[in-house]
Structure 1
Amino acid sequence: MTGMTTSPTTTPAPDGTHPVLHATGVTMRFGGLTAVRSVDLAVHPREIVGLIGPNGAGKTTFFNCLTGLYTPTEGTVTYRDTVLPPKPHLVTQAGIARTFQNIRLFANMTVLENVLVGRHTRTKEGLFSALLRGPGFKKAERESTRRAMELLDFTGLADKADHLSRNLPYGEQRKLEIARALASDPGLLLLDEPTAGMNPQETRATEALVRAIRDQGIAVLVIEHDMRFIFNLCDRVAVLVQGEKLTEGTSDAVQADERVIAAYLGTPFEGAPGQEELAEVEAAEAQADARADLTEDTP
């Protein structure tokens, strides 16, 4: 992916809406290893789409291709018909926000400060204004604080605004990461295993929160291992197996697909890579993640 250029017109949904996200032929190779192969996926406005698959299916690698952490070897990713640049901060500016499988909060910042960090892509005040703390900066600071408190109220964390994030219970840390992602005012939110480690009550609360996010007009794409959560929540579900999209459809259709059942039971298909090859892909992904962590804030 290079530069921001207009993409070909994408296929509208049955209701006539065009996708907010359209991934076409996305392939990600690490050396000679292919982690994701020719995956197509669209997410439409006000839609919740689930992405599922057994371990090693390439789900997080595909997420990383969508959000600029990886540059796909082949294929394109467009947001509102514009090809996304391969830089995470530019993807965020364009209107896509995400959470991570491993929580990435600033442990020694307060809950409010963590959400304010998420506002920086929407703050127009420059360096000199911030240094001089002039009227423009103070006005922007007040507006950012007001919006951050709105999001904390929305996620049920307003009474914890002054707490250090490291002192929050695990489920509330997950909520805080979602609040911080929402602070960038996205049109599409990507959630990477938002209920991992949660108890049933916390999972139900997260399900209600994701629906409330959708009701605010934000499209959602979610990876999750909790099948009950996914099938209760999502309008549509796509299944990745060994880096390829096996099927896509409604929750009922996907649950009834024998190929999906076989994949989760570990039944291999023709040409499936072995455990050694999967381990090599995972090692290559880890190296790519380490490099991405060093460069993701570099303009």
Structure 2
Amino acid sequence: MQSIVTRSEPPIRLRLDGIEVRFGGLVALEDVSLQVPAGSVVGVMGPNGAGKTTLFNVVCGFQRPRAGTLSFDGRPVRPAPHRLVRHGVARTLQGLGLFGGLTVLENVAAGASLSHRAPFVTSLLGLPSGARTQRAARDAAATLLDEFGIGDYAQSLPPALPYAVAKKVALARALISDPTLLLLDEPAGGLDSADIEELGTLIRRLPARGDGSRSVMLVEHNVDLIMSVCDHIVVLDFGKVIAAGTPDEIRADPLVAAAYLGGKDAA
């Protein structure tokens, strides 16, 4: 008798249930729920003012919700920016956030220090284990820069970089800590169409790195990018989830079309 093999569903990396945020009398988010499975790319899109940035700030701990729960890998948490790495979370910023006085290599290596457990004093005093940690971080940073095709910029300073290169540096710095959940905040902002296409290729490859279980959540204005890279998309409008599904399902949803064509700017 032939056995039947069933494919198990991937575990849920990030779960939000019933999130509500109010600013005075303004409801920024109302009963927002979503899931980010392990090994997937999940996007959040919506017209300007839909609540995307507020939702991202809830996940990162910059905004405390009035109601609702949030969990990482099945464990309820109250996220805070300084505790994200503890949960295996890294993020990029809308602004690049690079250190202007450090080289590209040093900027990326600085992100690796978040994932190492060597005591700070050991590294500060230049003791052997600290030196080994620094060498490992620089080697890992150099490997990432080569993988992203920007190894030639390793010794450049951020103010001298083309903007598209600086974007890749910021992404490499977030990725070098080997997060299980990578949060991308409007990664296409300021890029032209060719650079956005290249960025999309990079994002699609991110879950496959390592053991293939890394998850990516991105908040993005660029509809073409989010449609091309995401496995699942959640659409917000006026702080509420109006649609959720695959890119094909979202394209065909009349509520999404109404939200973007009803006098709002989709860019």
Shift of the 150–93 alpha-carbon distance from structure 1 to 2, 3 Å rule, reads farther
- The amino acid that maps onto 2:247 is S
* Deviations 1:206-260 (CA, angstroms, capped at 9, x unpaired): 0110111122122111122221221122111110001111110111111111111
Shift of the 198–131 alpha-carbon distance from structure 1 to 2, 3 Å rule, reads closer
Aligned residue in 2 for 1:27: 20
- The amino acid that maps onto 1:162 is Q
Query: How far, CA to CA, are the matches of 1:109 and 1:195 in structure 2?
Result: 24
SS of residue matched to 1:23? strand
State whether structure 2 residue 230 is matched by structure 1 residue 238: no
State whether structure 2 residue 148 is matched by structure 1 residue 155: yes
- The amino acid that maps onto 1:195 is A
Aligned residue in 2 for 1:201: 194
1:93 touches 1:121 (CA, 8 Å); kept in 2? no
SS of residue matched to 2:39? coil
Shift in Å, 1:267: 6.2
2:85 touches 2:115 (CA, 8 Å); kept in 1? no
TM-score of the two chains, using structure 1 as the length reference: 0.81
Which one of 172, 175, 185 corresponds to residue 168 of structure 2? 175
**Residues 122-133 of structure 1: matches in 2 within 5 Å?**
122-133=115-126
Shift of the 267–127 alpha-carbon distance from structure 1 to 2, 3 Å rule, reads closer
State whether structure 2 residue 250 is matched by structure 1 residue 254: yes
Aligned residue in 2 for 1:109: 102
Shift in Å, 1:154: 2.0
Aligned residue in 1 for 2:222: 226
1:85 touches 1:91 (CA, 8 Å); kept in 2? no
Q: How many residues align?
A: 255
State whether structure 2 residue 252 is matched by structure 1 residue 265: no
* Deviations 1:22-75 (CA, angstroms, capped at 9, x unpaired): 111111222332211111010111111111100000101101100112222211
Shift of the 39–128 alpha-carbon distance from structure 1 to 2, 3 Å rule, reads same
Answer with 61-70 or 81-90: which moved more.
Answer: 81-90
Unpaired runs of 5+ residues, structure 1, are: 1-13, 269-299
Query: How far, CA to CA, are the matches of 2:130 and 2:217 in structure 1?
Result: 34
SS of residue matched to 2:221? coil
SS of residue matched to 2:197? helix
TM-score of the two chains, using structure 2 as the length reference: 0.90
Query: How far, CA to CA, are the matches of 2:120 and 2:174 in structure 1?
Result: 23
Which one of 209, 212, 217 corresponds to residue 205 of structure 2? 212
SS of residue matched to 2:12? coil
Shift in Å, 1:171: 0.8
What is the percent sequence identity of the aligned residues?
Answer: 39
Query: How far, CA to CA, are the matches of 1:49 and 1:254 in structure 2?
Result: 13
SS of residue matched to 2:29? strand
Which one of 15, 18, 26 corresponds to residue 11 of structure 2? 18
SS of residue matched to 1:40? strand
State whether structure 2 residue 35 is matched by structure 1 residue 42: yes
- The amino acid that maps onto 1:128 is V
Query: How far, CA to CA, are the matches of 2:221 and 2:17 in structure 1?
Result: 24
1:165 touches 1:173 (CA, 8 Å); kept in 2? yes
* Deviations 1:117-157 (CA, angstroms, capped at 9, x unpaired): 21222122223312321111111111111111122122222
State whether structure 2 residue 46 is matched by structure 1 residue 53: yes
2:97 touches 2:170 (CA, 8 Å); kept in 1? yes
